[in-house]
Amino acid sequence: VVSQYFVRLNVVDQPGVLARIATIFGESNIGISSVIQPEGHEGESVPLIFMLHYATNGVAAKALAKIAKLPTVKGNLVMLRVENFE
């Protein structure tokens, strides 16, 4: 299934975390449409929200499995397929 995806994860608020996650998406050939990272306090957990470009479900799931293994990612990841009815 090829679709866009909404991804939400909790990460430790420290420099380089967003870059590492974006690198994994890039290595998986998945583009990022948008990112929201609310301001937090360094060292604490904050949500990180992505809207991804079109990708297959398998490729997106593999990228998220790599991301989930990062020590700065805390808790469960959420990945929702975004349907476009145009």
Write the pLDDT tens digit of every residue in 57-69.
999 999 999 999 9
The verdict on pTM exceeding 0.75 is yes
pLDDT given at position 64: 97
pLDDT given at position 39: 82
pLDDT given at position 36: 95
Which residues of the chain carry a pLDDT beneath 50? none
Give the list of residues 6+ apart from residue 79 with CB closer than 8 angstroms, or none: 5, 6, 7, 60, 61, 64
pLDDT given at position 83: 86
Q: Which residue has the tokens 């690198």?
A: 23
pLDDT > 90: what percent of the chain?
79
Phi and psi at 44, nearest 5°, equal -90, 165
